[in-house]
Structure 1
Amino acid sequence: MKFNVLTYGCQMNVHDSDWLIRAMESRGWKAVEESEANIFILNTCSVRDKPEQKVYNVLRRLGYLCTSPGDFVAVGGCVAQQIGEGFLERFPYVRLVFGSDGIVQAPQYLEELAVDHEKRLVLNDFLAQYPEREGGLANPNEELLPPGIGTIPGQAFVNIMQGCDNFCAYCIVPYTRGRQKSRLSSAIIDECRALVKSGVREITLLGQNVNSFGMDKNGSDLSFAQLLYKIAEIEGLERVRFTTSHPKDIAPEVIKAFGELPNLCPHLHLPVQSGSDNILKKMGRKYDRARYLGIVEGLKEVCPEIALTTDIIVGFPGETDEDFEQTMDIMERVRFESSFSFKYSDRPGVAALKMMPKVPEDVAQKRLTRLQERQKHITRECLEELDGNDMIVLLERNSKWQEDGGVAWRGKDPGGRVVNIFIEGIEGHLPLGGKLVKAKIIEAKNHSLVGVKVGDLW
């Protein structure tokens, strides 16, 4: 069977899609471009309104491509969890709907639906425990599935948990991904070991709130900090990252790890959402600006070179000009290297839906524009401070920026910054993805760095 996967939303969705591609290829299916496929799988996001509307538009378009009896669409992810049977009622060519826990069963039922053209299914039940996946490498002797489309050479993502127990007032995640379920630490460590054995050099641990790993009903034998130290010990693992972190749960031991673990990358995505105590309380974030700034101070004390990034919501119900100025102030104090910033939008079922007063659209847009403009300047200033520094860069792929006499490669430094490196005497077709190289930074761009190779590839 020929299939195509379209992915929207967060890195966890990207990871889920990569796993699904590998799982179906291991069953003999072939991942192809959209124009060649007869089975289409959408992995969806409903964190904000726009991605959800995009799903409906894509489904209408795919309807024109489902021309044979065996052609069909499967919808997975957060919108699938939210809408459920509504997709089957609205789109006759949608024959499988699966939520975040249902993805484990999706490969089996995709095969069944490819044979039985009348069957239609919804897999939206939440499971009590983390559902281990086929090819999850819980067994250290299990062979790795074939690399998935979109996989970056030398890098891998490993789920350590699923769902969320925080119920922030604006967030739909607990309703679409369910309550928090920590994965068995032994399964996580075995998967990481197998990945490193296969040639992976950088692992990113994924979860809605990795800092609360092990704190859920079923718990774990290890805390998140203990898990970090265990994984960092794996021989041959050059880099460890994790995302996303909730400030309320970050333990002193995790902060300490940034100063003690040489392969824990000096980068942390730490969503602040707002700089106003008033708004943080309304959001249900369970920390205040003093607590957040204290975490930042602790991180910079043990790891002065750490790069901090964040998420910010502007225009949350009841946000005043003073509240917004507090957010601008915390940006100046922390100097985030980058931020994902959005206007608040109502999501069905969340507490903020009924909160008043709503911030007028034009006011929210002006605030967002001002914040994003300031962020651009801070980002550029942070990058300019690195001019002349030596960095170890993990190469990913050919850069869009090229010059005569060699090939430019795109990679990332330990802080997660994009670095474009011109490498003389290297032909473009050579497989350098996954290689490490020492580079000297010679120029800062608006959102990336330019470097030159000053050491051998390894």
Structure 2
Amino acid sequence: MRQHAREAGLSDTIIFNTCAVTTEAERQARQSIRKARRNNPDAKIIVTGCAAQINPELYAGMEEVDHVMGNEEKLQRESFNLSENASVAVNDIMEVKETAAHLVHGFEEHTRAFVQIQQGCNHRCTFCIIPFGRGNNRSVPIGAITEQVRVLVNNGVKEVVLTGVDITDYGLDLPGTPTLGQMTKRLLAQVPELKRLRLSSLDPVEIDEDTYRLFGEEPRIMPHLHISLQAGDDMVLKRMKRRHLRHHVVEMVERARALRPDVVFGADIIAGFPTESDEMFENTYDLVNELNLTYLHVFPYSERPGTPAARMPQVPGNIRKERAGRLRDAGAISEQSFMQSRVGTTAQVLIEKNGFGRSEHYAPVQVEALEGDLSGEVVPVYIADIRNRKLLAYPLGTKAAEDARAKLEVQ
């Protein structure tokens, strides 16, 4: 969008790319728009993203907003030739049949890049409004993905994250229906220079056999998987209209660990979904501990108008927050335990800035005693301690690493 705006000659322009996942996200967007207008009275303000796609009239009705454009329009260069007579450009996202590959700009100074491989979702979970902002599932052709990644790697990117609304549905709309695993295998074969690859949020029951096979065979796929879990109680999952049940999650985690014993898991969880009883919540809480889920993204349930869940009996807000807090505490304990287990081991850390980076398991690592600026490089390190919620490490082969190893051995 920034590139399109520049090419259109726009200056003194502020673009808000809004989110509609929660009511709070929309409230903060409107608050930020009003603040931006107060601080920039002469600027043009453009609002786009999912909230604008779903409810364009709301944002067009704000006196602070000059133009509103939909999720498909924001990707088109011509949309930024703003007309004074047409303040709203939002088409029916459900009519969009293709997802074009995004042009890759602005990653030259980054070490990690996110590449969208699909957009939209064919499923209608009862709590979710995303399909109405993103449309139905649309996959990016394999060749376009490969070209994007090749450009990024040539610009110095060492790690790519494959993203989308529901990447396990990748390829269902393409000729030959290639699977996520088939696409990923071809990508890695055609861009051998890519050092590291991560997969974003996965539906546990929809992971294809090719993806499992590749995960077990390809060391460039990082041992870090994120599960679109949402709940660990079967009745709640059914009322959410999720595709998986509790046992599917257990089977997915066990299978992945059999292939890569060191794999670490993250998960998205909704606390206080409508009708969730204390017992139902405890089933979710117990699953977090049973599977040792490490990186948790926890959200108190947020009613989205027009969704079936908004019409169900609601859990009081204070109980939602209390349950979310318990889940976050469980996640923090699991993460601390995982980080403690890494002390005294080695890791390959992708340095981002000022010695900070991420390990293969996505653990935050502060590397000290580096010689020179190694941002963008993968550095083998010895993990010596935990400090300020990060792993403290030293480059392998340095005196600092040997001293740290000797100190741990005598403890």
CA distance in 2, matches of 1:455, 1:45: 46
Alpha-carbon distance in structure 2 between the residues aligned to 1:159 and 1:220: 20
Secondary structure of the structure 2 residue equivalent to 1:349: coil
TM-score (normalised: structure 2): 0.90
Aligned to 1:451: 393
Cα deviation, 1:3-59, whole Å, max 9, x if unaligned, reads: xxxxxxxxxxxxxxxxx224445x2869xxxxxx72100011110111100111111
Q: Matched residue pairs, number? A: 396
Name the SS for the 2:205 alignment partner: helix
Moved >3 Å (runs of 4+) = 22-25, 65-68, 116-119, 218-221
Out of 349, 371, 375, the position equivalent to 1:433 is 375
Equivalent residue of 1:86, what SS? helix
| Deviation readout 1:107-141 (Å, 9 max, x if unpaired) | 4332x22xx555523233324322425635xxxxx
In 1: Cα distance, 2:363 partner to 2:287 partner: 22
Q: Does 1:377 align with 2:333?
A: yes
Distance 1:54 1:251 in 2: 38
The residue that corresponds to 1:130 in the other structure is 98
Distance 1:362 1:86, change over 3 A: closer
2:298 maps to 1:368: no
| Shift, 1:352, TM fit | 0.4
In 2, are the aligned partners of 1:380 and 1:446 still within 8 Å (CA)? no
Quickly say closer, same or farther: Cα 1:365–1:128, change in 2 above 3 A.
Answer: closer
Paired residues of 1:210 and 1:243 also in contact (CA < 8 A): yes
> 2:54 corresponds to which letter in structure 1?
Q
- Who is 1:284 aligned against? 241
In structure 2, distance between residues paired with 1:343 and 1:180: 26
Secondary structure at 2:304's aligned position in 1? coil
Contact 2:142 2:187 in 1 (8 A): no
Deviations 1:401-437 (A, max 9, x none): xxxxxxxx111111111111112553xxx4x321111
Offset, 1:193: 2.1
Q: 2: distance between equivalents of 1:213 and 1:134?
A: 16
Aligned to 1:21: 2
Distance, in Å, in 1 between the alignment partners of 2:370 and 2:38 is 48
| Cα-to-partner distance string for 1:383-410 (whole Å, 9 max, x where unaligned) | 1000011111111112xxxxxxxxxx11
| Counterpart-to-counterpart distance in 1, 2:279 and 2:203 | 24
Equivalent residue for 2:366? 420
CA contact 1:379–1:447 (8 Å) conserved in 2: no
Report what 1:10 is aligned to.
none
Structure 1 gaps, min length 5? 1-19, 31-36, 137-144, 399-408
Cα 1:414–1:134 change in 2 (3 A) is closer
SS in 2 for 1:249: coil
Alignment check: 8 A CA contact 2:370 2:394 kept: no
Distance in 2 of aligned mates of 1:454 and 1:268: 27
Corresponding position of 1:391: 347
Opposite residue 262 of structure 2, the aligned amino acid is E
Contact 1:248–1:285, Cα closer than 8 Å, also in 2: no
SS at 1:244's partner residue? coil
Going from structure 1 to structure 2, the CA distance change for 1:190 and 1:29 (only over 3 Å counts) comes to same
Task: Give the equivalent residue in structure 1 for 2:79.
Answer: 109
Aligned residue number for residue 38 of structure 1: 12
Q: CA offset at residue 311 of structure 1?
A: 0.8
Task: Please provide the CA RMSD for this pair.
Answer: 2.1
Question: Could you tell me how far apart the structure 2 residues matched to 1:425 and 1:183 are?
Answer: 41
Do the aligned residues in 1 keep the contact of 2:230 with 2:268 (CA within 8 Å)?
A: yes
Contact 1:154/1:200 (<8 A) preserved = yes
Share of identical aligned residues, percent? 28
Counterpart check, 1:83 vs 2:19: no
Pairing 1:173–2:141 present: no
1:274 maps to which of 213, 231, 253: 231
1:198 deviation in Å?
A: 2.8
* Secondary structure, aligned partner of 1:51: helix
Report the Cα distance in structure 2 between the residues aligned to 1:244 and 1:270, rounded to whole angstroms. 5
2:246 maps to amino acid: R
| 1:257 shift after superposition | 1.7
1:394 partner SS = strand
2:57 partner letter: E
* Structure 2 match to 1:338: 295
Equivalent of 1:245 in 191, 197, 202: 202
Q: What residue in structure 2 maps to residue 404 of structure 1?
A: none
Matches within 5 A, 1:301-320: 301-320=258-277
Cα distance change, pair 190–332 in 1 and its aligned pair in 2 (3 A) = same
